[in-house]
Amino acid sequence: MIRTYHFASLCFFLIFWLNILGSQNIVPNLKNELDGLLEKAYAADGPGVAVLAARKDQIIYQGARGMADLEMNVALRTDHIFRIGSVTKQFTAAAILRLAEQGKLDLQDDITRFIPDYPTQGKHMTIEQLLTHTSGIKSYTEMPEWDKMTHRKDFTPAELVDFFKNQPINFEPGTKWKYNNSGYVLLGYIIEKITGKTYGEYIEEQFFKPLNMKDSRYDQTSDILKNRARGYARSNDDNHYLNAPYLSMTQPYAAGSLLSTVQDLMIWTRALHSGKVLQPASLNKAFTPHILPDGANTYYGYGLVIGNMYGSPTVEHSGGIHGFVSNLVYLPQEEICIVLLSNCDCQPLGDLTEKIAAKIMGIKSPPDPIAVAANDLEVYTGVYQDDKNEERILMLENGSLFSKRRGSAKIKLQPYQKDRFFIDDSPVRITFTRAADNNKMVTGLLFSDRKSDQKKWIKVSNVIPQAPVAITLTTQQIQPLLGEYQLLPGFNITITNEGQRIFCQPSGQDRMEILAVTPLRFMIKDDDAELEFSGDKDGSINKLILFQDGRQIPGLKVK
């Protein structure tokens, strides 16, 4: 939800910025193609997006589409100021690393060194675990108590910590990864404890002013701010836009309360990756994905996601906050920075980011498919397992190859080279491997997605499972399931029934029928997703898990 910076001198900065401004010789064809992508993604008369792309110090594209203020009929520009949500976290992480460089903290310090009264429940919780989302502390944004009324309340940092500190931990600190806004609240509080300044003052002093990030600041809702874009949301029936629900910006705090522009975020990214913000050893830590004790890769460093795009490494983070979404991606091999800021939280930016990156990198996406006979595709069918024993099923239907995971949509794989496939409207690439002593035997596949360049799946002898058969539940079995479950802030699933028929309705979406496979396991009719309910020993149901697109999203019953 927030961000950070620092430069050697104002003189150096002025030279740096003048070089940027003087080098905006945008390639006409690229500009036209990227303008076309924005026009396709956003209507001219609705909330929109501001985009900037740069290679090294040269801006190669700037563009905006949509409206900054629907009521005042103000068109969006690239100098408009947006809430950046969780992009803030890299600024918080950089501030912590700078304090470590100065000897004012150690990343292995227990958090009670700075917050003595924090109830660690007898566990050793370190600053590094806060940075990497491995502390096990419950994220306050997942608490049922963090409701619409609470969103309107102003908190001091100490009060915000008090709001969540007595919650039970999710797991033994350091053993698992779970995205956690509470951890970054604690990091902001530690910064204040050490420096004697507010979080916003420290970020301004250390990063914004030295880098002349003149349009970046800690958000104060009451401030009159020139060029501030208004935030919007979609109505529940998706037929019109609404002003985004109110959120006191004291609550996202060091996890997400910063404001910025696409230009300022480019300045920050260039400074960070060129060593102007942190020492090389600190940068290396920040850019190294944290590995769990069991060897699992979290793909998360310090306030940054470590992934890849079209086979090239990325250092990135996205953000989502009431009325706004953001995406900041850096490709270190190509020295390309891509920034997208939108003033509506109604559509994610990942797909548009990937399309923009492909255009800039000169990658044909999707590749040109080739024709492969169904008989030749048969060799790829079967069950594949990853290192967690999760299964991916490959099957033939109507002469085409499809891939499916539990709770995920069935995806068509398109061949473009021998043993190489792509997925439409996606940067995913799949490469099949064959036995060294038998070129006709497929042994596995390498899956290149937005996380890992080559995730391995091994072909196993398991039989392709048959589709589950729906069963009918009794009224006594149905009643405990009914209610409203919160999966994410602002995203609930409501379970209702009409006699023996059971329905789910996600926030802002149509009601869908769900079919029981077991008394607690359901398929969503006409959608490749599943729900699984669970509860207490007394038989009450208070939890569910949504299985969709390879993810497991838990939710607690709130009504």
| DSSP string for residues in 316-366 | EEEEEETTEEEEEEEETTTTEEEEEEESBTTS-SHHHHHHHHHHHHT--SS
- Determine contact, residues 345/324, Cβ cutoff 8 Å: yes
CB atoms within 10 A of CB 15: 10
CB atoms within 10 A of CB 132: 24
Calculate ∠ Cα 366-354-367, nearest 5°. 10
What is the enclosing helix (H) or strand (E) of 422?
Answer: strand 420-422
211 and 68: one domain? yes
Measure the N-to-C terminal CA separation of the chain; round to a whole number of Å: 28
283 and 431: one domain? no
Query: Does a structural domain hold residue 369?
Result: no
User: Hey, what are 432's tokens?
Assistant: 């099949």
347 and 496: one domain? no
CATH of the domain at 211: 3.40.710.10
Query: Does a structural domain hold residue 88?
Result: yes
Query: Does a structural domain hold residue 442?
Result: yes
49 and 129: one domain? yes
402 and 518: one domain? no
Collapsing DSSP to helix, strand or coil, 148 comes out as helix
Q: What is the pLDDT of residue 43?
A: 95
| CB contact set of 152 (below 8 Å; sequence gap of 6+) | 246, 247, 248
Q: What is the pLDDT of residue 177?
A: 95
291, 326, 361 — which closes off a domain?
361
Q: What is the pLDDT of residue 453?
A: 59
411 and 514: one domain? no
Whole-model pTM: value is 0.76
CATH of the domain at 398: 2.40.128.50
Query: Does a structural domain hold residue 116?
Result: yes
Q: What is the pLDDT of residue 2?
A: 34
361, 384, 399 — which closes off a domain?
361
332 and 402: one domain? no
174 and 197: one domain? yes
Q: What is the pLDDT of residue 122?
A: 92
User: Hey, what are 376's tokens?
Assistant: 């030749």
Q: What is the pLDDT of residue 26?
A: 43
Residue 436 belongs to domain spanning: 374-460
CB atoms within 10 A of CB 165: 18
- Determine contact, residues 318/87, Cβ cutoff 8 Å: yes
Query: Does a structural domain hold residue 465?
Result: no
Q: Is the dihedral angle over the CA atoms 7, 13, 19, 22 positive or is it negative?
A: positive
What is the enclosing helix (H) or strand (E) of 163?
Answer: helix 157-164
Q: What is the pLDDT of residue 17?
A: 34
User: Hey, what are 390's tokens?
Assistant: 């999760």
115 and 30: one domain? yes
What torsion do the CA atoms of 272, 277, 282, 286 make, to the nearest 10 degrees? -30
pLDDT in tens, the chain (559 residues): 333 323 233 233 333 333 333 333 445 589 999 999 999 999 999 999 999 999 998 999 999 999 999 999 999 999 999 999 999 999 999 999 999 999 999 999 999 999 999 999 999 999 999 999 999 999 999 999 999 999 999 999 999 999 999 999 999 999 999 999 999 999 999 999 999 999 999 999 999 999 999 999 999 988 999 999 999 998 877 779 999 999 999 999 999 999 999 999 999 999 999 999 999 999 999 999 999 999 888 999 999 999 988 888 999 999 999 999 999 999 999 999 999 999 999 889 998 999 999 999 988 878 899 999 999 999 999 999 988 788 888 999 899 999 987 656 678 999 999 999 998 878 888 999 999 988 889 999 988 877 665 688 999 988 776 666 788 999 989 999 999 998 877 788 999 999 999 999 988 778 889 989 899 989 886 666 789 998 877 778 989 998 876 677 888 888 8
166 and 229: one domain? yes
106 and 225: one domain? yes
Query: Does a structural domain hold residue 422?
Result: yes
Collapsing DSSP to helix, strand or coil, 270 comes out as helix
- Determine contact, residues 550/405, Cβ cutoff 8 Å: yes
Structurally, how many domains does the chain consist of?
3
403, 429, 460 — which closes off a domain?
460
Query: Does a structural domain hold residue 66?
Result: yes
In the chain, % helix, strand, coil (3-state, to 5) comes to 25, 30, 45
Query: Does a structural domain hold residue 85?
Result: yes
- Determine contact, residues 378/396, Cβ cutoff 8 Å: yes
User: Hey, what are 334's tokens?
Assistant: 């190509």
401 and 261: one domain? no
Place of tokens 């060294």: 436
